Structure 1
Amino acid sequence: MMTSLFSIFEPVSSIFSLNLNWLSTFLGLLFMPLLFWVSPSRWVLLWSKIISALHTEFKTILGPTNSSLSLLFISLFSFILFNNTLGLLPYTFTSTSHLAMTLTLALPLWLSFILFGWLNHTQHMLAHLVPQGTPGVLMPFMVLIETISNIIRPGTLAIRLAANMIAGHLLLTLLGNMGPLLSTKLLTFLIMTQILLLMLESAVAIIQSYVFAILSTLYASEVN
């Protein structure tokens, strides 16, 4: 039971036991119709409004001098949202449920922010280690706490995204495996529950991609 339950997160495919399931990241390109690029449609207008709202918010956080960086975080949001939503399809591998994927996104971003900040704004980074108004006795402890909180940032970003994706998919799979054992009335209730959980997972996919992007933007704003 547990083996089949966690097999949905197995990247190894049945074709020569290769890690071909990672290719599901690019499957969404097949779902984009030609009209999406050729002529304006409701999907294009909706996506344009979303990008415009995100650009305004990210630009406010980053400041006017670094507003061009918002394109990076909009792309990050789009990529994570794309993979989270694609993972909701049946029998589709969810790449963002693996720490290998989420850490690959979070660690290089955090490392580049830290290196840029310490190399170009050293005094500013040192000032962040001791909040304003901290008593002299507590300064060593505050430096230690702030240092640890900065170090664990990529881990918290990666684990938050992966854990939320894993939890929802496990719950959907666990409830779905109970279907053949239930009566007709209970099966109807189970289907309604699955639909509600699927709606919740769709919201989680959007929220987690937004949280990942907005926290990365906040981390980038601290080094300027």
Structure 2
Amino acid sequence: MMNNLFSIFDPSTNIFNLPLNWISTFIGLMFIPYSFWLIPNRQFIFWNFILNKLHTEFKLLMNSNSNSKGSTFIFISMFSFILFNNFLGLFPYIFTSTSHLTLTLSISLPLWLSFMLYGWLNNTQHMFIHMIPQETPTVLMPFMVLIETISNIIRPGTLAVRLTANMIAGHLLMTLLSGTGPSISNYFIIMLILIQILLLILESAVAIIQSYVIAILSTLYSSEVN
């Protein structure tokens, strides 16, 4: 019996007592050689189509100014990295690295710091203007500055917690349902398997949606400092 339900997210492993599960974050590198094939396969063509669509959308969100050329590849790479790790966590015996704040904060915090440093050093006046929305009454200006400051500070935390919480919630629900399998009758086993399949489909959709949401929000945050 499991002493702690959250032990399913424990990064430790029994192989030589070393935390080798974090190596699963690099499994996505196996897809890179597809781009060097003389004749690309259908998977690479489909993935390249998705990346081109994302590049077009991110370029529109960043207002297509001259200072943002090539910046979309940062967010496309982040989308690909998070998507691969979210999907890998759905396979048995593969560690879900995106369910830990260690990884999600390592992604969101450097991005947020770079946006803030760039904005306040190069576009200081624009950053001050952004603190107060248009047509704000004079009495409410100090409160709006305080609210905008707090919302800017908690942005990396909200990005990290959003991804971590969504990945943990689905895995915990599937673990709780699978733990009831030995204690129920054979008639309910088929129903339990169908529910688990539906949850797996839902988790696959969540894996795509969460990686897309984080990439879009990061793009919007970067467009605010230009």
| Aligned partner of 2:80 among 66, 78, 81 | 78
In the superposition, relative to structure 1, how do residues 33 and 109 fare at CA in structure 2: closer, same or farther (>3 Å)? closer
Amino acid at match of 2:47: W
Rounded to whole Å, the distance in 2 between the matches of 1:114 and 1:43 is 37
Rounded to whole Å, the distance in 2 between the matches of 1:70 and 1:152 is 23
Matched-pair contact (CA < 8 Å) for 1:58–1:67: no
Matched-pair contact (CA < 8 Å) for 2:28–2:81: no
Matched-pair contact (CA < 8 Å) for 2:101–2:161: yes
Tell me if 1:62 matches 2:62: yes
Shift of residue 63 of structure 1? 2.1
Shift of residue 54 of structure 1? 0.3
Rounded to whole Å, the distance in 2 between the matches of 1:158 and 1:129 is 23
Amino acid at match of 1:40: P
Shift of residue 104 of structure 1? 0.2
1:42-121 to 2 correspondences below 5 Å: 42-64=42-64, 65=66, 66-121=68-123
In the superposition, relative to structure 1, how do residues 77 and 93 fare at CA in structure 2: closer, same or farther (>3 Å)? same
Matched-pair contact (CA < 8 Å) for 1:11–1:19: yes
Tell me if 1:182 matches 2:174: no
Shift of residue 36 of structure 1? 6.8
- Root mean square deviation of aligned Cα: 1.6
Equivalent pairs counted in the alignment come to 223
Residues 172-221 of structure 1: CA deviation (Å, up to 9, x unaligned)? 11111111112122000000000000000000000000001000000000
1:126-205 to 2 correspondences below 5 Å: 126-205=128-207
Q: Name structure 1 gaps, 5 residues minimum.
A: none
Shift of residue 29 of structure 1? 4.1
Amino acid at match of 2:20: L
Residues 65-91 of structure 1: CA deviation (Å, up to 9, x unaligned)? 214100110000000000000010011
Tell me if 1:23 matches 2:46: no
3-state DSSP class of the match of 2:158? helix
Q: Name structure 2 gaps, 5 residues minimum.
A: none
Amino acid at match of 1:210: Y
Shift of residue 19 of structure 1? 1.8
Amino acid at match of 2:50: I
Tell me the TM-score normalised to structure 1 length: 0.95
Rounded to whole Å, the distance in 1 between the matches of 2:150 and 2:4 is 38
Residues 8-44 of structure 1: CA deviation (Å, up to 9, x unaligned)? 20011113432211111123445x4966742222211
Rounded to whole Å, the distance in 1 between the matches of 2:32 and 2:61 is 34
3-state DSSP class of the match of 2:71? helix
* Match in the other structure for 1:220: 222
Residues 79-115 of structure 1: CA deviation (Å, up to 9, x unaligned)? 0000000010011110000000000000000000000
Amino acid at match of 1:54: L
